[in-house]
Amino acid sequence: MKVVVTGALGHIGSRLIRALPAWHPGVEVVMIDNMSAQRYCSLFDLPSGARYRFIEGDVTKIALEPLFAGADAVFHLAALTNAAGSFEFAQELERNNFTATDRVARACLAAKVPLVYLSSTSVYGTAAKQVDEDCTEEELKPQSPYAETKLKEERLVAELVGQGLKAISFRFGTIFGVSPGMRFHTAVNKFCWQASIGQPITVWRTAYDQKRPYLDLEDAMRAFELVLRRRLFDGRLYNVLTANLTVRQIVDTIRTHVPDPKIDFVDSRIMNQLSYEVLDLRFRAQGFTPAGDIKRGVADTMKILEGSTAARA
């Protein structure tokens, strides 16, 4: 088996490249990353049981078809992220992320290789209490340039599926959990980092009791493994999440490790008064059962941050 992973050194990619040989011993893993975040550590101590090849390159520029040739799947994870911060670099994000997805998807179509495309549940910005993949256009109200671009990419992939592309598209909840290339700019991971060094946990003023979808990184891996095992490239769109949680629930979980964290309520351009649950029944119908746990995810994250407690004021 041959698998290509773009954005291979990121939070999700650095975990995926380590999971693949456990699922498929002897797998050839082609890792593509532009090293813009300098996550060299993601390449340290790769497991045995796979043939790894690393390509330092930008998927918006390099020739992709030769790298994709003969692959059983391409996992497209390369993207600029950070929805809240995307207002500051909206044009750059649009140019980079959409171009990357366009080039990767078209190269997959040309090479006749299945694509796993990663979108985000941030495309939802609805006042409805529950949403799923069949919600109306009026219920898709992305609240940031990042989310707007993801929605545009989804439509591109769907268009290419109509032209013969084998693909599956996932709307992932906000990722939490430990990996070599993990980041700390989104809720859960950011809150853990702030609490571990004695900083106030910064919570959007309206968000404390709003429900949002979260995804344990290990559940993300289970979703990927199911796709490879089932060859589930059916062209459909699937929500994937571990649980719909409030910020209060997350902070209460962190309190079991840092008993009295300070909380600062702050403003953000994408905060709103909306609280909604994302439904994942479509993917569960394919045999997927999430097994992740916010308590374990926070505990694992706090454990690797234990040394940082010495830096507390």
User: Which are the catalytic amino acids?
Assistant: 146
CA–CA distance, 56 with 36 (Å, rounded to integer): 10
188: left (phi over 0), alpha (psi -120 to 50) or beta: left
* 115 within 8 A of 104, measured Cβ to Cβ: yes
Give the closest residue to 97 by CA, choosing from 83, 113, 112, 114.
83
Residues 6+ apart with CB under 8 A from 187: 174, 176, 212, 214, 247, 250
Pairing of the two strands 243-246 and 211-216: antiparallel
**What are the DSSP calls for 79-137, one per residue?**
----TGGGGGGHHHHIIIIIHHHHHHHHHHHHHT--EEEEEEGGG---SSSEE-TT--G
CA–CA distance, 157 with 105 (Å, rounded to integer): 7
Longest dimension (CA), the chain: 58
Angle between helices 294-304 and 247-255 (to 10 degrees): 50
